[in-house]
């Protein structure tokens, strides 16, 4: 094999196959044979142009695969060998700058947010910087996460959303034993927050969604640690909590997309002195029903959470491997490179209804 097939997003809505030469692997880098690449909101936002790039690139930032080739220095640094199954952290880290040393490598001075896998120009050699490809380049500052042997590659791609669930639902707000947790949005990240909160010892977890498009997800939520699933077209989340547990939430985690009313619902559902996490991007400046004084009166702690980090990813892979929650059975649609565009379009709400979990299997 001297070349690899990949999909290049040349501009919004133009996803075209292209053949790339495989790079020579030296002492300090490696090559991944991509087995599966999970899809999330970022993928369809890149595709539609809601998240414009301005350059051609190979998308795909939730890659799992087998290390095909690796240099000796890279193998020592990453602790993996050729033949190992790994997940690839989205961000790269130089390991030496102040941000990297502090663990906040998303703000690495050498790489930072502009150097994420699945969002790097094909002009930068060797071009194979994403998971929509048979092979993905592993640059020296990559971070690799070993995948437990029991996990199938398509299930292992959940390291990304479940890592987000752990960081956004537990680490960032400090969720602890006995907490009442409200999760706004029952997508794969919302279900992941439910499981993570329950694992952290939450006494009660509520998840909300909007009927009818969220009915399937709300029905699944009880298997993922939710004690109560609420359709916000029928019941106000705050009222549902009062009825169920007699009080409001210690922690509210908003992982909604295109649901501007969720912010006001989250503020209403939080107890005085509680914590509200706004996670992922909302894609809208609208906040109907939101009144800033409620934050003052309740002395709420409002925290933004954007990405995930390696400790959360490792915890996610461990939790997936336990099989305690039925992540392997999530309604999942897999597509190969030829079917990728249809799958991404359906996740953007065009064509067929979106699956709970979409995975590319190059």
The Cα–Cα gap between 207 and 260 comes to: 17
The Cα–Cα gap between 295 and 260 comes to: 17
Strand partners for 163: none
In angstroms, what is the minimal distance from the CB of 164 to Zn ion?
8
To which residue do tokens 């790039």 refer? 53
Q: Which is nearer to Zn ion, 100 or 202 (CB)?
A: 100
Q: Which is nearer to Zn ion, 69 or 343 (CB)?
A: 343
In angstroms, what is the minimal distance from the CB of 93 to Zn ion?
5
In angstroms, what is the minimal distance from the CB of 107 to Zn ion?
8
Q: Which is nearer to Zn ion, 97 or 244 (CB)?
A: 97
Contact 290, 264 (CB under 8 A): yes
Q: Which is nearer to Zn ion, 267 or 348 (CB)?
A: 348
- Dig out the tokens for 66 from the structure: 């087998």
In angstroms, what is the minimal distance from the CB of 62 to Zn ion?
5
Q: Which is nearer to Zn ion, 71 or 95 (CB)?
A: 95
In angstroms, what is the minimal distance from the CB of 66 to Zn ion?
21
Q: Which is nearer to Zn ion, 108 or 206 (CB)?
A: 108
In angstroms, what is the minimal distance from the CB of 114 to Zn ion?
13
Strand partners for 34: 65
The Cα–Cα gap between 273 and 328 comes to: 37
Of 44, 139, 21, 142, nearest in space to 87 by CA: 142
The Cα–Cα gap between 268 and 292 comes to: 11
Q: Which is nearer to Zn ion, 94 or 244 (CB)?
A: 94
Give the torsion sign (CA, 352, 355, 361, 362): positive
User: What residues make contact with Zn ion under the rule CB under 5 A?
Assistant: 40, 42, 94, 97, 100, 108
In angstroms, what is the minimal distance from the CB of 134 to Zn ion?
20
- Please provide residue 123's backbone torsions phi and psi, each rounded to the nearest 5 degrees: -60, -25
Strand partners for 1: none
Between strands 30-39 and 180-184, the pairing is: unpaired
Of 305, 279, 280, nearest in space to 104 by CA: 305
To which residue do tokens 């690139």 refer? 57
In angstroms, what is the minimal distance from the CB of 160 to Zn ion?
5
Q: Which is nearer to Zn ion, 79 or 103 (CB)?
A: 103
Output the furthest CA–CA distance in the chain (Å, rounded). 64
- From residue 47, alpha-carbon distances to 8, 18, 35, 77 in Å are 10, 17, 21, 34
With residue 201 as reference, give the H or E element that holds it.
none
The Cα–Cα gap between 73 and 86 comes to: 17
In angstroms, what is the minimal distance from the CB of 330 to Zn ion?
15
Q: Which is nearer to Zn ion, 44 or 217 (CB)?
A: 44
Q: Which is nearer to Zn ion, 88 or 184 (CB)?
A: 88
The Cα–Cα gap between 193 and 200 comes to: 10
In angstroms, what is the minimal distance from the CB of 187 to Zn ion?
12
End-to-end CA distance of the chain: 15
């Amino acid at each position: 094999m001297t070349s690899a097939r990949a999909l290049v997003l040349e501009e919004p809505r133009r996803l075209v196959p292209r053949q790339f030469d495989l790079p020579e692997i030296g002492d300090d880098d490696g090559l991944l044979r991509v087995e599966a690449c999970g899809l999330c909101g970022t993928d369809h936002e890149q595709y539609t142009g809601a998240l414009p790039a301005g350059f051609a690139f190979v998308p795909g930032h939730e890659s799992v695969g087998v290390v095909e080739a690796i240099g000796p220095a890279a193998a020592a640094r990453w602790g993996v060998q050729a033949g190992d199954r790994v997940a690839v952290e989205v961000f790269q880290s130089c390991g030496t700058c102040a941000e990297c040393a502090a663990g906040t490598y998303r703000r690495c001075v050498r790489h930072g947010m502009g150097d994420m896998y699945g969002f790097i120009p094909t002009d930068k050699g060797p071009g194979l910087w994403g998971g929509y490809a048979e092979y993905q380049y592993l640059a020296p500052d990559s971070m690799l996460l070993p995948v437990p042997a029991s996990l199938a590659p398509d299930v292992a791609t959940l390291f990304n959303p479940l890592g987000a669930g752990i960081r956004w639902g537990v680490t960032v707000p400090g969720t602890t034993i006995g907490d009442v947790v409200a999760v706004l949005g029952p997508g794969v990240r919302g279900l992941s927050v439910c499981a993570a909160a329950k694992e952290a010892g939450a006494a009660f977890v509520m998840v909300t969604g909007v009927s009818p498009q969220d009915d399937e997800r709300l029905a699944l939520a009880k298997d993922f640690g939710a004690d109560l699933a609420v359709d916000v077209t029928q019941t106000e989340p705050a009222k549902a909590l009062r009825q169920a547990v007699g009080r409001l939430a210690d922690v509210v985690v908003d992982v909604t997309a295109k649901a501007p009313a969720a912010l006001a619902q989250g503020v209403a559902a939080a107890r005085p002195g509680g914590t509200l996490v706004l996670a992922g991007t909302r894609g809208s400046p609208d906040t109907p029903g939101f009144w800033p004084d409620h934050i003052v009166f309740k002395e709420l702690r409002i925290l933004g959470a954007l990405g995930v980090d390696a400790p959360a990813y490792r915890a996610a892979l461990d939790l997936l491997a336990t099989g305690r929650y039925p992540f392997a059975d999530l309604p999942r649609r897999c597509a190969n490179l030829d079917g990728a565009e249809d799958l991404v379009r359906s996740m953007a709400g065009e064509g067929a209804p979106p699956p709970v979990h979409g995975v590319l299997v190059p």
